[in-house]
Amino acid sequence: MAIETAQILKQLNLQPERTIRVVAWMAEEIGIFGGKAYAKQHAAEMGNHFAAIETDLGAGHPLGINVCCDGASLKILQPIANVLETSGAGVLRSSEETGADIIPLKVAGVPTFSPIQDLRKYFDYHHTAADTLDKIDPHELQENAAVVDVLAHALATMQAELPREPQSVPDWLK
């Protein structure tokens, strides 16, 4: 999804004001090592990270966007949900859970996001030998890429600032 999002932005020749960075995370299940390493490597520039999006729950039909921000942010983000409503992905939900890999960014105060997806089949294959690409519906994968693309582009061109809520770093994350 992330790579397809970058490809769509390139194909449409969109030049957002902010950089959109695609990161391939590693070792989440055994300690969020990739997320922690990224946050450590980019600690000095964390204030420049406007937002983070994680896509780590398969590719079931997208229903909307999880937002780990305060209620005021939902009003700021409502136009994005309105755009996605026509595709059936217009739900905008405040959620503490937007993805494990971006927890270190969230702790640093970066607003975090993830697609809300239909998970009814996800755990049938998750982390099993049958967890292979042929289980993905290509149309639903395209729908998800479109949702992430709309969200990424909107965040990268947004004039309003989103509230940042730095948190104390839990011991398990150090």
The whole-number average pLDDT for the span 72-94 is 93
Burial of 41 (0-12, 13-18, 19+ CB in 10 A): exposed
Comparing 106 with 30, the larger pLDDT belongs to 106
Point out the residues that are catalytic: 28
- pLDDT value, residue 30: 84
Q: Using DSSP, state whether 94 is helix, strand or coil.
A: strand
Please tell me the CATH superfamily of domain 2-161, with its number. Zn peptidases (3.40.630.10)
At residue 126, does pLDDT exceed 90? no
* Lowest-confidence pick of 11-15, 78-82, 88-92, 114-118: 11-15
Rounded CA separation 101/34 (Å): 7
**Residue 145 token pair:** 């890429």
Does the pLDDT of residue 145 top 90, yes or no?
A: yes
Indicate the pLDDT class of residue 65, thresholds 50, 70 and 90: very high
Q: How many helices (H) and strands (E) does the chain have?
A: 6, 4
- Residues 54 and 112: beta-carbon distance below 8 Å: yes
Contacts of 145 (CB under 8 A, 6+ apart): 1, 4, 5, 8
In this structure, of 43-47, 121-125, 139-143, 157-161, the range with the lowest mean pLDDT score is 121-125
Entry pTM: 0.91
Q: What is the mean pLDDT of residues 149-160?
A: 94
pLDDT band at 76 (very low <50, low <70, confident <90, very high): very high
Helix segments in the chain, DSSP class H: 2-11, 33-41, 71-85, 103-107, 122-125, 138-157
Cross-strand pairs, 91: 64
